[in-house]
Chain A
Amino acid sequence: MGGAERAQRRRRQQQTAAKRPAKSSTVVQAARASTGSGGDRNRLLKGIIVVAVIAAVVIGGVLWQRSRSAPPDAAPVRTITAEYPVTIDGGVVVAGEGSAEVTVDVYEDFLCPACGTFEERDAAKIEQALAAGTVKVRYHMLNLLDQQSNPPGYSLDAAAAGVCAAEAGEFPSFHASLFGAQPREGGHGYTIDQLVQLGRDVGITGPAFESCVRDGTHADAVRAELESARTDPALRRPNPNGGDYFGTPTVVADGKLVDLGNPNWLDDAIGEAG
């Protein structure tokens, strides 16, 4: 009795359900057409989820990136034992005996990878010539690549600190150490603290060096050097398709632009002078 009643009700329900879909969907369509609320809500929700996914990936990624990018480890000391006088001339560090026959002007940036390669190849020869008194070198340490470290400004900090190190009498080792463990372009350069520490490590004592580095005492002189190097027509090299440019490293021996493709440029210059 009860079972039959239930079966009958179920049958009726099924019939209604079978009729429903067509009717309902027109109702829904009509409702959506008039208000558009269902579609809008759906779209809004989707937009929110899309934004949330992008935000989550970006925040996660940036935090992960930050955890791997820190200042480089302290630069190991490279000690230059050769003995020669070092003085400063504005923002230029002048190394070698005043009586030397050949004057070499070197334009470098502590961040520039090509300068690192140049130092790696030629530093030993230059040191030898400086110690022998045949050559004097005017080091123009420039802040050409200020925007190429993250955070920007390592080139200027390092160049100005180089002049401080020259004042303190330890330019050769300071210069060689910074090029010996060069920070990567686009990455974090050495911090001011690390530059101060490197100065101590190469043997600078006394508070003058630290305040010189922290105050950026020679920063303006370095900027002025960059400006005059950039505007000096004698230092510009031709572009393959027109125009010319100034880049680092640029080397001038006795007023003549050196082709660094020639590995014997220094011997040649000394030969010509002698």
Chain B
Amino acid sequence: MVVKDVVGTLARLGLAAVWLVSGGLKAVDPEQAYLAVAAFDVLPSGAVSPVASALPFVELALGLLLVVGFGTRPVAVVSAVLLVAFVAGVAQAWARGLSIDCGCFGGGGAVAPSETRYPQEIARDTAFLALAAWLMVRPRTLLAADGLVGPPRRVTEDVAQDGV
């Protein structure tokens, strides 16, 4: 039990670090983030700008919630959805023969064909997906806000009523 809590805690903090670093690097360089999103060439051109400007902050928000350990399960679900979307984006770029950098941790955009690293990018995102999956199945972790705001305490309510 305790071992699983420790593993879960490491998964939570690890995924938090991933989101905070990736979101932070994108947030400080909005032009590069825009180029990275545009390079995937999947969104209609009107959607690139809103997605590119919102994405860094979605990642930062997920990171913050994971650090605090609040709503670990829903946050893990959203993380997994996002990671699956990233993997799909990289896979379609690979399949279509685009030569881009995913811009997962800053950078991104078109690169020379010899500089693409699709297998590594997909493997990395899959590893992050495993962290999210663990937290979806077993969101209980140590040092988490989730542990403080547990289920409603009917017990004390009952006692108080009896006392009257």
Interface residues, chain A, CB within 8 Å of chain B? 13, 16-17, 20-21, 24-25, 27-28, 31-32, 38-39, 41-42, 46-47, 49-50, 53-54, 56-58, 60-62, 65-66, 68-69, 147-148, 150-152, 184-187, 239-243
Contacts and interface: CB of A to CB of B under 8 A. Distances in A.
Contacts of A39: 151
A116 to B, nearest CB: 15
B57 A61 contact: yes
B152 interface: yes
A237 B34 CA distance: 27
Given A150-B49, A185-B35, A187-B31, A57 B60 contact: yes
A239 B70 CA distance: 49
A59 to B, nearest CB: 8
Nearest to B50: A62
Contact of B35 (A20, A27, A53, A148): A148
Interface of B: 27, 30-35, 38, 45, 48-49, 52-54, 56-58, 60-62, 64-65, 70-71, 74-75, 78, 109, 112-114, 149, 151-152, 154-155, 158-159, 162-163
B140 to A, nearest CB: 14
B61 A184 contact: no
A216 to B, nearest CB: 17
Given A20-B155, A186-B35, A53 B112 contact: no
A147 B48 contact: yes
Contacts of B52: 150
Given A28-B154, A61-B54, 4 more contacts: A65-B53, A148-B38, A186-B38, A187-B34
Given A47-B74, A53-B65, A184-B31, A62 B53 contact: yes
Nearest to B155: A24
Contacts of B48: 147, 150, 152
A65 B58 CA distance: 14
B57 A62 contact: yes
Contact of B54 (A62, A152, A240): A62
Nearest to A42: B151
A217 to B, nearest CB: 23
A241 B113 contact: yes
A53 B61 contact: yes
A42 B71 contact: no
Given A13-B163, A58-B54, A61-B60, A24 B32 contact: no
A45 to B, nearest CB: 9
B141 to A, nearest CB: 15
A21 B158 CA distance: 9
B114 to A, nearest CB: 4
Contacts of B34: 150, 186-187
Nearest to B63: A57
A38 B113 contact: no
Contacts of A20: 155, 158-159, 162
A21 B70 CA distance: 27
Interface centre among A17, A58, A241 (most CB of B within 10 A): A58
Nearest to B146: A46
A186 to B, nearest CB: 3
Contacts of A56: 61
A20 B61 CA distance: 42
A50 B38 CA distance: 28
A38 B53 contact: no
Nearest to A16: B162
A148 B109 CA distance: 9
